[in-house]
Amino acid sequence: MQITEAAAVKKSGITTKELVIDAMLIALTYIFTAFVNLRLPIAANGGLIHLGNVPLFLAAIIFGRRTGTLAGAFGMGLFDLLSGWYLWAPFTFVIVGLMGFTVGAVTEKHHGYGWNALAIAAACVIKVVGYYIAEGFIYGNWVAPVTSIPGNLVQIGVAAIIVIPIAERLRITIQRRL
């Protein structure tokens, strides 16, 4: 059994180190979403502001689009499944996975504060538009989702304030050690 698993990993081109890094960043994204959060009483669904975007953006900037996609889709998707937000899980999986992919795709080829900020701004657009559409379908109402936009902007804004000053230095340091 172990030989078959090792052969599958080798065939996929993903190293054990990459697999461990992906798993760690999925876990960190889940933990920062689940335990470092504030529920808002203003939005139609109660709203939630969390710091899960911090490890998500760092994962994408440091390790690229594959790790960013996995950390976002599975880390925040698991939060929805394990925290009673079941209806949101498929939307979160796609929306946040796309956010991680986008940040990683932009920052794989372009490095620096400006590129990181641009990538996070693109992720912000994906989040606002994606969750607006998701809420429109869930609630059957295209006005109610507007109340979630400020929370989404705050969530991404806080993550950007934390990530942008440290991401480039952290990326360089980690890449040197791997």
22-43 pLDDT, tens digit each: 999 999 999 999 998 887 666 5
Q: How far is CA 170 from the centre of its chain?
A: 18
Tokens 């180190």 found at: 17
Residue from 80, 130, 135, 145 nearest 100 by CA: 130
**pTM for the whole structure:** 0.90
Section 138-165 average pLDDT: 94
The rounded distance, in Å, linking the Cα atoms of 178 and 149 is: 38
- The per-residue pLDDT for range 125-141, each reduced to its tens digit, is 999 999 999 999 999 99
With the CA atoms of 10, 13, 16 and 22 taken in that order, what torsion angle do they form, in degrees rounded to the nearest 10? Answer: -150
The rounded distance, in Å, linking the Cα atoms of 142 and 136 is: 5
Determine the pLDDT at residue 155: 92
Q: Which amino acid is at 69?
A: T
Beta bridge partners of 50: 37
Using a pLDDT cut of 70, give the percent of the chain over it. 89
Section 85-107 average pLDDT: 97
The b/e string for 59-90 (b: 16+ C-beta within 10 A; e otherwise) is bbbbbbbbbbbbbbbbbbbbbbeeeebeebbe
Helix (H, G, I), strand (E, B) or coil at 64: coil
The rounded distance, in Å, linking the Cα atoms of 52 and 62 is: 16
